[in-house]
Amino acid sequence: MVLHFCKMEAARLHSNWDDLRLFLAVARTQSLSGAGRLLRLDPATLGRRMQKLEAALQATLFSKSPQGYALTDAGAALLLRAEQAETAMRAAVADIPAQGDRLKGQIRIGAPDGAANYLLPQVCAAIALENPDLEIQIVALPRVFNLSRREADMAIGVSAPTAGRLIVQKITDYHLHLAASEAYLSTNPPITCGADLRAHRMVGYIPDMIFDRELDYLADLGITRVPLASNSVSVQLNFIRQGGGVGIVHDFALPAASGVRRILVEVVSLTRAFYLIRHEDDRRNARLTRFADALSVGVRAEVARLEALA
């Protein structure tokens, strides 16, 4: 049944933010086990908490099946209110002055694994050094993050989304080139032009796991067969380091890959961009805005520093 708003408002007074926080996790992951992993809470305990919440609201919030926990109409109505409460809570916490005007609390960043492995650790370590009470979590996943489901507080993307209630800010351009290990180049036919690539093993993305058109580098070169493939940039670079073949590499990752060098630099040179993406509801969140500004400055500087070493 549809939850009557007056009843929900009255019952909500007897509920607390922790109940809504748990409800949001179950609603977004659509399972007790997924929410349990997110919250570090036993699924059985989480299930009991949801039962108590439904009893307090006198409504069925979830339709339970082997496929998971789907929201009922009542659950969907509560989800809207819970997300409003979440936004208000985050804004209230952000307005509390930190000791010495330092950032504190937990901030989670979602990022493609190239940025997550070769840029964010040193940038975030520097921010954490200046803000000892701040907890920074980096979630490296080869896919687009869903900020509406609060999978992260902010995300770095390789293209600017055009849909959704999002704040999108370009951080910086970065560059990519073909590269191979010295060992591979010394034992295989020379590469002097693009046509020579046909005689070499290529390293790249698994074609059906490319989550953003901006990452389909090899297709732009007319290369369709990729004998050594991974959905991870780091795995691709390790393929190349081990002499597996030739692939497109971020210039900012090359300083971390000894024995790998760029090839055909004048022939193949790609430019892409990183974007910082936040939820529109966080526009007035001073804490997240300060962190976002520091992150953008740090990433921009680190890309420039590492590319100069490539």
Whose tokens are 């790249």? That residue is 204
Six-digit token string for 167: 């704040």
Classify 30 in phi/psi space as left (phi over 0), alpha (psi -120 to 50) or beta: left
Answering whether pTM is above 0.75, one says no
Burial 202-220 (b: 16+ CB within 10 A, else e): bbbbeeeebeeeebebbee
Whose tokens are 């993406």? That residue is 277
SS3 readout for the chain: CCCCHHHHHHHHCCCCHHHHHHHHHHHHHCCHHHHHHHHCCCHHHHHHHHHHHHHHHCCCCEEEECCEEEECHHHHHHHHHHHHHHHHHHHHHHCCCCHHHCCCEEEEEEECHHHHHHCHHHHHHHHHHHCCCEEEEEEECCCCCCHHHCCCCEEEECCCCCCCCEEEEEEEEEEEEEEEEHHHHHHCCCCCCHHHHHHCCEEECCHHHCCCHHHCHHHHCCCCCCCEECCCHHHHHHHHHCCCCEEEEEHHHHHHCCCEEEECCCCCCEEEEEEEEEEHHHCCCHHHHHHHHHHHHHHHHHHHHHHHHC
d(CA 102, CA 190): 55
**Surface-to-core class of residue 68, CB atoms within 10 Å of its CB (0-12 exposed, 13-18 middle, 19+ buried):** middle
Looking from the CA of 11 toward its CB, the CA atoms found within 13 Å total 18
Instruction: Quote the pLDDT of residue 304.
Output: 93
CA distances from residue 241 to 17, 49, 106, 124, 268 in whole angstroms, order as listed: 50, 50, 35, 26, 20
Whether domain 5-94 has CATH 2.60.40.1930: the reply is no
Q: In DSSP terms, which residues pair with 275 in a beta bridge?
A: 157, 170
Q: In DSSP terms, which residues pair with 108 in a beta bridge?
A: 137
Whose tokens are 């034992």? That residue is 187
Q: Which CATH superfamily is domain 173-271 in?
A: Periplasmic binding protein-like II (3.40.190.10)
d(CA 286, CA 289): 5
d(CA 236, CA 246): 10
Equal CATH topology for 103-172+273-309 and 173-271:
yes
CATH architecture of 103-172+273-309: 3-Layer(aba) Sandwich (3.40)
- What residue ranges do the domains of the chain occupy? 5-94, 103-172+273-309, 173-271
The 10s digit of each residue's pLDDT in 239-286 is: 999 999 999 999 999 999 999 999 999 999 999 999 999 888 888 888
d(CA 232, CA 272): 17
One pLDDT digit (tens) per residue for the chain, 310 residues: 344 443 444 344 344 677 888 898 898 888 998 888 878 788 888 889 899 888 888 889 999 888 889 999 998 888 888 877 777 666 555 554 444 577 888 899 999 999 999 999 999 999 998 899 999 999 887 655 565 566 788 999 988 887 777 888 999 999 999 999 999 999 999 999 988 998 899 999 888 887 777 777 787 777 878 899 999 999 999 999 999 999 999 999 999 999 999 999 999 999 999 999 988 888 888 889 999 999 999 999 999 999 988 7
